[in-house]
Amino acid sequence: MAFFEMAKTAIKTLVQRPATIRYPAESAKKTEISRGHVTIDESRCISCGSCQRTCPSQAIVVEKEAKTWQIDRLRCVVCRACVDVCPVKCLFMDTQYTAPMVTRSTETVMITYVKPVKPPEKEEGKA
């Protein structure tokens, strides 16, 4: 009986279209929830380090003193945990896939966030 099941599956796969796409020749379908790669808006990052602490693969390194944010694309598992935990929402998932990498390199971004100036406090009792 198992032979007939196998023959049925083999004939079915010969008649149907392939389930996969030929990626370099045909582009992959991209939707709003596609996970391509993590992108940062360096003007909004406050160097809190929550993305670094949350990253399960330890692909992100935030250095507060140097004001840098680094990601190792080969270690990143594109889980979106860093995007979800970011308090200022400076990280987001880009739907574009990155090009294949041949050598290991880290992407370093200089954080350009400038803390807003506090307005001067009004003193009570003085006119």
Task: List the pLDDT tens digit at each of the 127 positions of the chain.
Answer: 677 888 888 888 888 887 787 777 877 777 777 788 899 999 999 999 999 999 999 999 999 999 999 999 889 999 999 999 999 999 999 887 777 777 888 888 988 887 777 888 877 655 5
The beta strand positions in the chain, using DSSP E, are: 37-40, 60-63, 68-72, 91-94, 106-110
Residue 15 located in a structural domain: no
Residue 5 located in a structural domain: no
CATH number of the domain where residue 83 is located: 3.30.70.3270
Residue 92 located in a structural domain: yes
Report yes or no: 72 and 106 within 8 Å, Cβ to Cβ: yes
Report the C-alpha gap between 65 and 86 in whole angstroms. 19
Q: Whose CA is closest to 62, among 98, 34, 87?
A: 87
